[in-house]
Amino acid sequence: MGYTERLMVVFPHRAALIAVAFVAGCSGTPWNNPYPASESGANILYSSFSERPKHLDPVQSYSENEYAFIANIYQPPLQYHYLKRPYELIPFAATEVPRPRLYDAKNRRLPVTADAGEVAYSEYVIRIRPGILYQPHPALATDESGRPAYRDLKPGDLDGINAIGDFQRRGTRELVASDYVHQIKRLAHPRLYSPIYQLMSEYIVGLKELARDLARADKALPEGGFLDLTRFELEGVRTLDRYTYSIRVRGKYPQFVYWLAMPFFAPVPPEADRFYAQPGMAEKNISLDWFPIGTGPYMLTVNNPNRRMVLERNPNYQGEVYPGEGEPGDDAAGLLKDAGRPLPFIDKVVFSLEKEQIPYWNKFLQGYYDASDIGSDTFDQAVRFTGQGDVALTEDMEARGIRLQTSVATSVFYLGFNMLDPVVGGYTERGRKLRQAISIAVDQEEFISIFRNGRGIPAQGPIPPGIFGYREGEEGINPYVYDWVDGKPRRKPVEYARKLLAEAGYPDGRDATSGQPLLLNLDTTTTGADSKSRLDWYAKQFEKLGVQLAIRATDYNRFQDKLRRGNVQLYFLGWNADYPDPENFLFLLNGAQSKVKTSGENASNYANPDFDRLFDQMKNLYNSPQRQAIIDRMVEIARYDAPWVWSLFPKDYTLRHAWVYNRKPNQMANNGLKYQRIDPVLREKLRREWNRPVIWPALLILIVLAASVVPAIVAFRRRERATATLPETGAGR
């Protein structure tokens, strides 16, 4: 018996009222469904975003929340294999992963094994697949005569047009190599800010000169005038034929190939730049930064970052199939069942704005989001630890058919020492032993257990698992902090840390010469009640050594300013990998990257000549035993010097509903939507089951309110009918 029928039995006289008031319920769509009823049962994936993306222009975008969209829209030459680990580059628009051709200063071809010192240039020749088409877009639309439909818009042509979808005509064309060349030129566009321009200008031949020429030409233009990049040449990047182009970089730069898997190197048609540069577009916020144009599996059809963003299947996308290989265990996990089937599986992906965690979590439990991360607030509701210490879902989650997936992020969190600081820095035994003692005292295992619900792995060095150079087991432990006992690492005792501290000149945490207690300052941006327990915990770790820790909470800007000036002793930072190469982690400790000296990413200002020399060797090598050996030596040097307390590699926990398939965490690829598949029928069935409206409490409240009015009415009537009497008699009441 349904709810409505039951109510009619209980309150038969109110049946008509219920029928009218809750007629929506008769349609079968749950009342609390936040999506239109027309979408019920459709092949749509529902996700969310909490922060509006700042940039969707592939030359400017550089953050994860932006890549969640554009990585599914644009098509760089390369991509990461969805299933294989360690991460492997495979072709996307390209026909193959390019191998660099090496040249010396006289432009003579060198063997691929040539020493980095001999190599003057590396050239990457990239051939793309013919027949790839752009998504339907007004920038590519033509009129009856075959000319661009929206080329020379006149005042008034944009009346009534507020978004890209308001243009009547749309067109497409084939992707060609020169579109990739055009995008690389855009890195140097004077009106765009590309976060990798500075880096790439050091490598891509002619990029710096192009930037200079463009800036000069831009100044000569009237304000807002169109800067046509096609009129400019970029020396190091050439179109070889319709489907082939080459990029020439200075020296040997094996990591360059990873950049080719990022949206910075995705194609942008010159027509798009011309289209968006027309007068009136910017005033309506119609720009490439807001309305992308790509050749990828999806296209952005709704861009309202104040409410929802919608990706829809690009009707022109074809030629890619689900992978047939993965890592061991993928087959058993059902991740290879769709092998060979054309991508993408899902027709539409709806991202809704969800700023707060609580409503997001509740909507996931109601089935209105297909997958969810686990926050600290919701961890206990979702996850429990078994008697063996394993992670499992709670019974409620299991009953709903929810699945848990975990993966170690390609990120590192650390507590850094400023090596320029006279107390904690330096390369003498005094400073080194002090840092090693602190590294032992700060119990990362306890931290992960208390504050991260076990979601992390204590770091033994700067390179996280899954990245070449990471070592497991006994050979992978940090011998200055851990011992290998009973087949697992065990943190050295605090007594040993105290001994090191005494050797550093601070017996019992006091300066041996002055007798003053050692006071260290920790600068952090984490403030507020939530962080207090965490910071108190850190202070207690230092207390184990008798060292006093002063927490200097500061805002983000001041914190960054202090780092740049070197006005910190200890600080927290982290790093997310750009690409899965050890160079992208070890460069954080390269002396040439010193924050104080060069505004680089080495916030500890660590500068060890041996480490730097090995870094220069390592970064020019391809993955090989030789490279592994150099990395081992670098990591050993860094562990010994201890410029960081190697804190942890975070572990991501995600949940997905039973109707979601082929979802595998991939820390490098952001274009995973095309592989996912859903069962909308099962979702609809479970949504209805989980979201049956409970109306008796509302009725009960109404009845209680109605009942409470009765005495008021009685009292009112009594008062209205009362006659005036003398107060002393009391008659008439």
Partner 1 sequence: MTAYIIRRLLNAIPILIGVNVITFVLFFVVNSPDDMARVQLGVKRVTPEAIAKWKQERGYDRPLLFNGRSSGVGRLTDTIFFDKSVKLFAFEFGRSDQGRDIGYDIRTRMWPSLAIALPVFLMGLATYIAFALLMAFFRATYIDFWDVVLSVAMMSVSGLFYIIGGQYLIGKLWSMVPISGYDGGLDSIKFLILPVLIGVISGVGSNARWYRIIFLEEINRDYVRTARAKGLSELRVLFRHVLQNAMIPILTGAVVVIPFLFMGSLITEAFFGIPGLGSYTIDAINSQDFAVVRAMVFLGSVLYIIGLILTDISYTLVDPRVRFE
| Minimum separation from the CB atom of position 722 to partner 1 (A) | 10
Q: Does 30 bind partner 1 (CB under 8 A)?
A: yes
Map the footprint of partner 1 across residues 589-618, applying CB under 8 A.
599, 601
Candidates 226, 385, 622, 716: give the one binding partner 1 (CB under 8 A).
Answer: 716
Query: Is the Cβ–Cβ distance between 371 and 657 less than 8 Å?
Result: yes
Q: Which is nearer to partner 1, 365 or 434 (CB)?
A: 365
The closest alpha carbon to 651, from 665, 637, 641, belongs to 665
Q: Does 646 bind partner 1 (CB under 8 A)?
A: no
Q: Which is nearer to partner 1, 116 or 353 (CB)?
A: 353
Residue 173 to residue 184: CA distance in whole angstroms: 20
Q: Does 27 bind partner 1 (CB under 8 A)?
A: no
Q: Strand pairing partners for 310?
A: 302, 350
Instruction: Point out which span in 80-88, 129-137, 303-311, 644-652 binds partner 1 (CB under 8 A).
Output: 303-311
| Minimum separation from the CB atom of position 256 to partner 1 (A) | 15
Q: Does 720 bind partner 1 (CB under 8 A)?
A: yes
Residue 68 to residue 133: CA distance in whole angstroms: 22
Residue 438 to residue 539: CA distance in whole angstroms: 11
Tokens at residue 310, please?
């919608």
DSSP one-letter code for 135:
P
Q: Which is nearer to partner 1, 194 or 569 (CB)?
A: 194
Residue 149 to residue 153: CA distance in whole angstroms: 9
Q: Does 26 bind partner 1 (CB under 8 A)?
A: no
Candidates 352, 594, 604, 671: give the one binding partner 1 (CB under 8 A).
Answer: 352
Q: How many residues touch partner 1 (CB under 8 A)?
A: 59
Candidates 113, 388, 557, 729: give the one binding partner 1 (CB under 8 A).
Answer: 557
Residue 616 to residue 155: CA distance in whole angstroms: 56
Instruction: Point out which span in 177-185, 189-197, 377-385, 400-408 binds partner 1 (CB under 8 A).
Output: 189-197
Query: Is the Cβ–Cβ distance between 568 and 555 less than 8 Å?
Result: no
Q: Strand pairing partners for 442?
A: none
Dihedral of the CA atoms 437, 439, 445, 449 (nearest 10)?
A: 110
DSSP one-letter code for 260:
T
Instruction: Point out which span in 194-202, 319-327, 416-424, 614-622 binds partner 1 (CB under 8 A).
Output: 194-202
| Minimum separation from the CB atom of position 234 to partner 1 (A) | 19
Q: Does 697 bind partner 1 (CB under 8 A)?
A: yes
Residue 263 to residue 69: CA distance in whole angstroms: 11
Q: Does 307 bind partner 1 (CB under 8 A)?
A: yes
Q: Taking the CA of residue 193 as centre, how many other CA atoms within 13 Å lie in the half-sphere pointing to its CB?
A: 4
Q: What angle do CA 138, 74, 102 make, to 5 degrees?
A: 125
For residue 661, the SS3 value is: strand
Query: Is the Cβ–Cβ distance between 126 and 254 less than 8 Å?
Result: no
Q: Does 353 bind partner 1 (CB under 8 A)?
A: yes
Handedness of CA 12, 14, 15, 18 (dihedral sign): negative
| Minimum separation from the CB atom of position 283 to partner 1 (A) | 6
For β-strands 237-241 and 244-250, DSSP reports them as: antiparallel
Candidates 152, 283, 472, 486: give the one binding partner 1 (CB under 8 A).
Answer: 283
Instruction: Point out which span in 149-157, 542-550, 664-672, 708-716 binds partner 1 (CB under 8 A).
Output: 708-716
Candidates 197, 345, 538, 649: give the one binding partner 1 (CB under 8 A).
Answer: 197
Candidates 106, 719, 727, 728: give the one binding partner 1 (CB under 8 A).
Answer: 719
Q: Does 732 bind partner 1 (CB under 8 A)?
A: no
Q: Does 395 bind partner 1 (CB under 8 A)?
A: no
Residue 323 to residue 326: CA distance in whole angstroms: 8
The one-letter code for the residue type at 27 is S
Match 């090596």 to its residue by tokens: 419
Instruction: Point out which span in 333-341, 432-440, 657-665, 711-719 binds partner 1 (CB under 8 A).
Output: 711-719
Query: Is the Cβ–Cβ distance between 515 and 506 less than 8 Å?
Result: no
Candidates 99, 337, 355, 532: give the one binding partner 1 (CB under 8 A).
Answer: 355
Q: Which is nearer to partner 1, 543 or 561 (CB)?
A: 561
| Minimum separation from the CB atom of position 324 to partner 1 (A) | 35
The closest alpha carbon to 233, from 220, 248, 222, belongs to 248
For residue 91, the SS3 value is: strand
Q: Does 717 bind partner 1 (CB under 8 A)?
A: no
Query: Is the Cβ–Cβ distance between 189 and 59 less than 8 Å?
Result: yes
Number of neighbours of residue 299 by Cβ within 10 angstroms: 25
Instruction: Point out which span in 336-344, 530-538, 640-648, 688-696 binds partner 1 (CB under 8 A).
Output: 688-696
Give me the helix-helix angle, 529-543 and 444-451, nearest 10°. 160
Map the footprint of partner 1 across residues 357-386, applying CB under 8 A.
358-359, 362-363, 365-366
Q: Does 554 bind partner 1 (CB under 8 A)?
A: no
Q: Does 306 bind partner 1 (CB under 8 A)?
A: yes
Q: Which is nearer to partner 1, 307 or 733 (CB)?
A: 307
In sequence order, what are the residues at sequence separation of 6 or more whose Cβ sits closer than 8 angstroms to the Cβ of residue 691? 30, 31, 32, 33, 366, 367
Candidates 289, 370, 523, 684: give the one binding partner 1 (CB under 8 A).
Answer: 289
Query: Is the Cβ–Cβ distance between 133 and 299 less than 8 Å?
Result: no
Residue 393 to residue 371: CA distance in whole angstroms: 14
Q: Does 726 bind partner 1 (CB under 8 A)?
A: no
Q: Which is nearer to partner 1, 316 or 366 (CB)?
A: 366
Distance of CA 358 to the CA centre of its chain: 20
Dihedral of the CA atoms 159, 162, 163, 167 (nearest 10)?
A: -10
Q: What is the biggest distance separating any 2 CA atoms in the chain, rounded to whole angstroms? A: 123
Candidates 422, 609, 711, 727: give the one binding partner 1 (CB under 8 A).
Answer: 711
Instruction: Point out which span in 235-243, 327-335, 495-503, 686-694 binds partner 1 (CB under 8 A).
Output: 686-694
Q: Does 34 bind partner 1 (CB under 8 A)?
A: yes
| Minimum separation from the CB atom of position 599 to partner 1 (A) | 6
Residue 549 to residue 536: CA distance in whole angstroms: 9
Alpha-carbon distances of 188 from 46, 183, 290, 596, 714, rounded to whole Å? 37, 9, 20, 26, 81
Q: Which is nearer to partner 1, 354 or 612 (CB)?
A: 354
Query: Is the Cβ–Cβ distance between 478 and 646 less than 8 Å?
Result: yes
Q: Which is nearer to partner 1, 151 or 400 (CB)?
A: 400
Q: Does 533 bind partner 1 (CB under 8 A)?
A: no
Handedness of CA 40, 43, 44, 45 (dihedral sign): positive
Instruction: Point out which span in 409-417, 476-484, 626-634, 694-702 binds partner 1 (CB under 8 A).
Output: 694-702
Binding characters for partner 1, 263-282, by CB under 8 A (x = yes):
-------------------x
Candidates 316, 554, 560, 617: give the one binding partner 1 (CB under 8 A).
Answer: 560
| Minimum separation from the CB atom of position 162 to partner 1 (A) | 8
Q: Does 38 bind partner 1 (CB under 8 A)?
A: no
| Minimum separation from the CB atom of position 360 to partner 1 (A) | 8
| Minimum separation from the CB atom of position 700 to partner 1 (A) | 11
Question: Can you give the binding site for partner 1, defined by CB under 8 A?
Answer: 30-34, 36, 52, 54, 62-63, 191, 193, 195-199, 282-285, 287, 289, 304, 306-307, 352-356, 358-359, 362-363, 365-366, 555-557, 560-561, 578, 599, 601, 690-695, 697-698, 711-712, 715-716, 719-720
